[in-house]
């Protein structure tokens, strides 16, 4: 890929695993722009220089863990939902000015409906994690009228802060006695942590906790220990591919003003995911 042709990309750490380039390039090629979407792995100290580069050379970019909050300080304007969620995963650049959006919540809602047939307004939902993806998810679920949201996180303080934003409950992951009832009553337990992005990562929940879940949605779209155990136990589980698809389609529309070719993006995304599984 000619780096000079790149006008969009995904940034994060890690980012080289991302399926976004395959999916987005299928869409951009369909509208005649060619393969203009790439990726870049960054350390936190690289964000300032990247922002300067992006303002001069890119039309937009996506942000994955762990920089969905850090990128906000470079945005000249931030969409109301992203501001409420304190998370930006999509940036559009116009005349060197960065405009921040969050498409994660939209992607999650579409994925829960598509993959697990979850009736969100009637459901109790547990979100594991309290980072940028969790914030976007919780805010979107609140706006969609979810019955109750529980935030489960290693740091109770962070869980409480996010839970307060959505009138939900907070529980520390280590507090098994309090955690178990929330897990068992939830229609779906959502993993928003990055555990699973790196080989050998453990599951955020242990086997005894997974087996009482009614269904699990793992935002990580790679095979993870959480998904493996859920499948072994016969628990309905979906990975983050559908969420990636729909948040990516929304980002494409923000950047281009055109209707996203969702089926072309889906075909490219799932084909590449399957190819990698066989490697």
pLDDT confidence tier of residue 250, bands split at 50, 70 and 90 = very high
Q: Tell me: the pLDDT tens digits for 188-227? A: 999 999 899 888 999 999 999 999 999 999 999 888 999 9
Predicted local distance difference test score (pLDDT) of residue 2: 59
**For tokens 């995963």, what's the residue?**
89
> Does 56 qualify as catalytic in the annotation?
no
In the chain, CATH 3.40.50.720 sits at: 105-239
- CATH code of 3-102+245-277, in short, is 3.40.50.10860
Homologous superfamily (CATH) of 105-239 is NAD(P)-binding Rossmann-like Domain (3.40.50.720)
Distance separating alpha carbons of residues 260 and 203, to the nearest angstrom:
34
In the chain, CATH 3.40.50.10860 sits at: 3-102+245-277
Distance separating alpha carbons of residues 81 and 269, to the nearest angstrom:
26
Predicted local distance difference test score (pLDDT) of residue 199: 86
Strands, DSSP E only, in the chain?
8-12, 37-41, 60-63, 77-78, 90-94, 97-101, 124-128, 148-153, 169-172, 188-191, 216-218, 237-238
Q: Tell me: the pLDDT tens digits for 28-56? A: 999 999 999 999 999 999 999 999 999 99
Distance separating alpha carbons of residues 205 and 139, to the nearest angstrom:
23
Predicted local distance difference test score (pLDDT) of residue 183: 98
Q: Tell me: the pLDDT tens digits for 78-132? A: 999 999 989 999 999 999 999 999 999 999 999 999 999 998 888 999 999 998 8
**Which whole number is the average pLDDT over 56-70?**
95
Question: Quick check: 1 pLDDT over 60?
Answer: no
Predicted local distance difference test score (pLDDT) of residue 60: 98
Catalytic residue among 68, 92, 110, 250: 68
Q: Tell me: the pLDDT tens digits for 140-180? A: 999 889 999 999 999 999 999 999 999 999 999 999 999 99
Predicted local distance difference test score (pLDDT) of residue 3: 66
Predicted local distance difference test score (pLDDT) of residue 277: 84
Predicted local distance difference test score (pLDDT) of residue 89: 96
Q: Tell me: the pLDDT tens digits for 263-272? A: 999 999 999 9
């Amino acid at each position: 890929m000619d780096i000079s042709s790149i006008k969009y990309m995904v940034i994060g750490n890690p980012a080289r695993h991302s399926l976004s380039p395959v999916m987005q390039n299928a869409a951009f090629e369909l509208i005649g722009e060619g393969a203009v979407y790439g990726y870049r792995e960054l350390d936190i100290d690289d964000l300032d220089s990247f922002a300067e580069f992006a303002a001069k050379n890119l039309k937009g970019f996506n942000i994955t863990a762990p920089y969905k909050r850090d990128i906000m300080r470079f945005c000249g304007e931030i969409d109301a939902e992203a501001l409420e969620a304190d998370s930006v995963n999509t940036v559009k650049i116009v005349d060197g000015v960065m405009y921040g959006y969050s498409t994660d919540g939209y992607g999650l809602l579409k994925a829960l409906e598509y993959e697990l047939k979850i009736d969100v307004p009637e459901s109790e939902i547990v979100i594991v994690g309290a980072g940028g993806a969790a914030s976007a998810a919780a805010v979107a679920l609140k706006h969609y009228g979810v019955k109750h949201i529980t935030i489960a996180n290693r740091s109770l303080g962070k869980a409480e802060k996010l839970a307060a934003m959505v009138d939900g409950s907070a529980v520390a992951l280590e507090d098994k006695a309090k955690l178990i009832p929330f897990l068992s009553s939830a229609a779906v337990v959502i993993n928003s942590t990055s555990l699973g992005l790196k080989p050998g990562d453990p599951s955020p929940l242990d086997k005894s906790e997974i087996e009482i879940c009614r269904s699990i949605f793992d935002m990580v779209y790679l095979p993870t220990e959480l998904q493996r155990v859920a499948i072994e136990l016969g628990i309905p589980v979906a990975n983050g591919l559908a969420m990636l698809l729909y948040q990516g389609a929304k980002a494409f529309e923000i950047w281009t003003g055109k209707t996203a070719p969702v089926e072309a993006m889906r075909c490219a995304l799932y084909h590449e995911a399957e190819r990698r599984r066989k490697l």
